[in-house]
Every structure is written in structure tokens, then in C-alpha cells.
């Protein structure tokens, strides 16, 4: 006699498929059902008109406000000023220089982000050391047969990127020095670093920018004048280096004590220990933190409009004042918001992905 197991019956139809999913995730219990209906109604009544306004009732082509007749969003406004949103007042014939600078930047970043590419270290070093010089001559010119473009003509998204990239690259070495100083055994070095970090972290960026634009000229001898952009960059770098120092300190503290002790036991000096043992391990852990500071800085660059620089938000503000296009400020805010959002969201996703990937490291991050 042979006993055979009957095949299992399929689950009841209310537990699988679309119905099952709905029951499990949206209508499990009376309170949840009511909540689903209320929130669903709210979302639909909010989203449907918005989508209609943005996509269906909107005007996309034309060259003056007369083209905006459908009652929805007037994207003609944005399309007409797209060049300004991207390049500010940079001369049109020279736009290729900005494009080239950012193609190199994005190319090397993609190289660094992709998992299989070789020689990441070399590319990173080139990006941090050589690229700023190339980018400076490309954007500013006045050398190698390139026409000079004064910084007051810079603007739009490219200025936003310049501010953010310079801010982060320049604050990295300063941040490393400050973080090491904060952990130093020398009391004076430590207190100087702690004071510096806490002062910058304690004040809003806007007062730092005010200080950079109003007080900095007073600090230097008569006749030494700074470009407005340079002053803003100095302020942003000093401010950002304090935050960077704290990120780096976090990375340093995540390295188990045993690593420090082992390096000491091998007879390595302080700098050998830091460069050969600690930093390579800590840097890996810091990348998500650095990306997060970069996101914060990227959003904060919009503050430079208060001291009179034309970043992408300031271009939008100026466009809204144009008498020919009064009444379309929502469109320009939405467009600028979308630009910022795409950058920040993709970076934060990348940082989350890295955090997951790097989580396999030292288990004892208390």
C-alpha cells in the first residue's frame, strides 16, 4: 500500500492576486479601510488637477506669452529662458566651454561610480587635483587662446554646480586637517580645531555669506579686492570644512581601536599610521557621509542669491520679475525645484546604496 500526499489546495482567491494584495495592504480592518479611502480621495483630488495642469492643459511650444492659451502651465516661459537657467549670462558662443567642463566632470564621476572600472584611485586623484585647474581655465579663460569670461556673467545651474563642487573639493583637505587636529593629543591644536569647527557649525550659512561679502574686504590690505564669487566660495569652504571635519571624524572613530594599536605595535609613525592604515579604511566609510554633506551643500548654494550671485534659483527669481512674463512664477519655481530634486534625490539614493554595500565592514560600530 502506498500513501501519497495530496497536493496542497490553492489559497482562497481572496488571499492572492490583486484582491489579496488589496486586502492585505489597504483594507485589513475597518480603521485601515477608512484611512485608505480618506487618503486616497485626498490624493486623487490633489493629483488629478496637478497632473492636468502640468501635462495636459499646458503649452510647450511658442516664443511669447501669447502661446499660453490653454489655461494650464506655461512651459513656453521656461523653454524660452532655458539657456539662462543653465548658463546664466555666459556668452552664448562660449557655452561649449561650460558643457565640456561638465562632461569631463560627469564622465569621471560615472567612472568612479561604476563598479567594474579599473584605476579608480588614479581617476579620483586626477579629479580632485588636476580637474579644478582645467575647469578654472575652461570657465574663466584668459589663457590658451580662450576669451576671458568675468565671473559676474556666470550663473544658472552651472554656477550652482561650480559653487557646490568647489565647496566640497576645497573643504575636503581642510576638513581632514581639522578632524585629525580634533583628535590630536596636543591640547592647543585640539582646542583650536574644536573652536573652529563649533563656531562654523553654530552659525547659519547666511551670516557666513554676509560676513564673507561685507567683512572679508576689511580684513585685507587696501587695494586688495576680491571677486564676489571668490568671496562667496571662501565663505562656503570655511563653513563646509567644519561639517566635513565632523563627517571625517565619524569615519575615523568607526575604525576599531585595534587598528590604531596594531599600527603602533608595528612601529609606524603618526603620518604612516594615518596614511597607510587608518585613512584608506576610514575613507571608505566616509563616502556616504560626504555625499550627504554634498547634498546639503548643493541645496544651500541657493543662498548665494542673497549676496547677489545669480545661481539657478536667482535666475528663476529674475525671470519672474520680467514684465513680459508676469504671473508664471509657479512654473519657474517648479522647474528649479525639479532640477534640484533630480540631483539631490539621485545622490541620496546612491549614498543609501553605498551605505548598504559598505555595511559589511567592521561589525563593531557601536
Partner 1 sequence: MSSDMSNSSHKPDDGSEPKNGPPSNQPKFWNDPKKRSLLFQVILLAALGFVFYTIIDNTLTNLEQRGITTGFDFLTREAGFGIAMSLIDYTEASSYGMTFIVGLLNTILIAVMGIIAATILGFILGVARLSDNWLIAKFSALYIEVFRNIPLLLQIFFWYYAVLRTLPHPRQSIEFFGSFINNRGFIFPAPVPEDGFGVVLFGLLAAIIVSWLIARWANKRQELTGQQFPVYLTALGLIVGVPLLLFLLSGMPLGLDHPELKGFNFKGGITVIPELIALWLALSIYTAAFIAETVRAGILAVSHGQTEAATALGMSKAKTLRFIVIPQALRVVIPPLTSQYLNLTKNSSLATAIGYPDLVNVFAGTTLNQTGQAIEVIAMTMAVYLTLSLLTSLFMNWYNARIQLSER
148 close to 140: Cβ distance less than 8 angstroms: yes
Minimum CB distance to partner 1, residue 138 (Å): 27
Q: Phi and psi (nearest 5°) for 39?
A: -65, -40
> Could you write out the DSSP letters of every residue in 98-131?
HHHHHHHHHHHHHHHHSSS-S-HHHHHHHHHHHH
> φ and ψ at 214, to 5 degrees?
-100, -45
Using CB under 8 A as the binding rule, whether residue 159 contacts partner 1 is answered as no
Q: Decide: is 210 part of the binding site for partner 1 (CB under 8 A).
A: yes
Query: By rule CB under 8 A, what string of x and - marks binding of each residue 160-199 to partner 1?
Result: ----------------------xx-xxxxxx-x-x---xx
CB–CB of 178/241 below 8 Å?
yes
Distances (CA, A) of 295 to 229, 290, 323, 342, 345: 20, 9, 34, 11, 9
Q: Which three cell numbers stand for residue 190?
A: 585640539
Q: What distance in Å separates the CA atoms of residue 207 and residue 204, rounded to the nearest whole number?
A: 6
Does 264 bind partner 1 (CB under 8 A)? Our answer is yes
The CB-of-36 to partner 1 minimum distance in angstroms stands at 5
Per-residue string for binding with partner 1, 323-342, x by CB under 8 A?
Answer: ------xx--x--xx--xx-
Torsion angle of the four alpha carbons 116, 105, 236, 87, in this order, in degrees rounded to the nearest 10 = -150
Site string for partner 1, 21-50 (x = CB under 8 A): ----xx-x---x--xx--xx--x-------
For partner 1, the binding residue among 249, 279, 294, 319 (CB under 8 A) is 249
Give the interface with partner 1 as residue ranges (CB under 8 A): 25-26, 28, 32, 35-36, 39-40, 43, 182-183, 185-190, 192, 194, 198-199, 201-207, 210-211, 214-215, 217-222, 246-247, 249-250, 252-253, 255, 257, 260-261, 264, 270, 295, 299-300, 302-303, 305-306, 313, 317, 320, 329-330, 333, 336-337, 340-341, 344-345, 348
Amino acid at each position: 500500500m502506498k500513501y501519497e500526499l495530496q497536493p496542497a489546495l490553492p489559497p482562497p482567491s481572496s488571499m492572492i492576486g490583486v484582491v489579496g494584495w488589496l486586502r492585505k495592504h489597504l483594507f485589513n480592518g475597518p480603521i485601515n479601510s477608512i484611512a485608505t479611502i480618506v487618503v486616497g480621495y485626498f490624493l486623487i483630488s490633489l493629483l488629478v488637477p496637478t497632473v492636468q495642469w502640468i501635462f495636459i492643459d499646458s503649452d510647450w511650444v511658442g516664443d511669447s506669452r501669447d502661446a499660453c492659451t490653454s489655461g494650464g502651465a506655461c512651459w513656453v516661459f521656461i523653454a524660452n529662458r532655458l539657456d539662462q537657467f543653465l548658463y546664466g549670462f555666459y556668452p552664448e558662443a562660449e557655452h561649449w566651454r561650460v558643457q565640456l567642463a561638465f562632461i569631463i566632470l560627469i564622465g569621471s564621476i560615472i567612472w568612479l561610480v561604476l563598479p567594474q572600472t579599473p584605476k579608480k584611485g588614479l581617476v579620483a586623484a586626477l579629479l580632485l587635483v588636476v580637474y579644478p585647474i582645467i575647469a578654472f581655465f575652461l570657465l574663466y579663460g584668459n589663457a590658451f587662446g580662450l576669451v576671458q569670461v568675468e565671473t559676474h556673467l556666470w550663473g544658472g545651474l552651472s554656477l550652482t554646480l561650480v559653487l557646490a563642487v568647489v565647496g566640497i573639493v576645497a573643504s575636503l583637505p581642510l576638513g581632514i586637517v581639522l578632524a585629525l587636529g580634533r583628535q590630536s593629543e596636543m591640547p592647543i591644536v585640539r582646542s583650536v580645531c574644536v573652536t573652529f569647527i563649533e563656531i562654523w557649525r553654530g552659525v547659519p550659512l547666511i551670516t557666513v555669506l554676509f560676513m564673507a561679502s561685507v567683512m572679508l574686504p576689511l580684513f585685507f590690505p587696501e587695494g586688495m579686492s576680491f571677486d564676489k564669487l571668490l568671496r562667496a566660495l571662501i565663505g562656503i569652504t570655511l563653513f563646509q570644512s567644519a561639517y566635513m571635519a565632523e563627517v571625517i571624524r565619524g569615519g575615523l572613530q568607526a575604525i576599531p581601536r585595534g587598528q590604531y594599536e596594531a599600527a603602533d605595535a608595528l612601529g609606524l609613525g603618526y603620518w604612516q599610521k594615518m596614511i597607510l592604515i587608518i585613512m584608506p579604511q576610514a575613507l571608505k566609510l566616509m563616502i556616504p557621509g560626504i555625499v550627504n554633506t554634498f547634498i546639503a551643500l548643493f541645496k544651500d548654494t541657493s543662498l548665494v542669491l542673497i549676496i547677489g550671485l545669480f545661481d539657478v534659483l536667482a535666475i528663476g527669481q529674475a525671470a519672474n520679475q520680467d514684465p513680459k512674463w508676469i504671473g508664471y512664477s509657479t512654473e519657474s519655481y517648479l522647474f528649479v525645484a525639479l532640477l534640484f530634486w533630480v540631483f539631490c534625490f539621485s545622490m541620496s539614493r546612491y549614498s543609501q546604496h553605498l551605505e548598504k554595500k559598505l555595511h559589511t565592514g567592521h561589525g563593531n560600530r557601536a
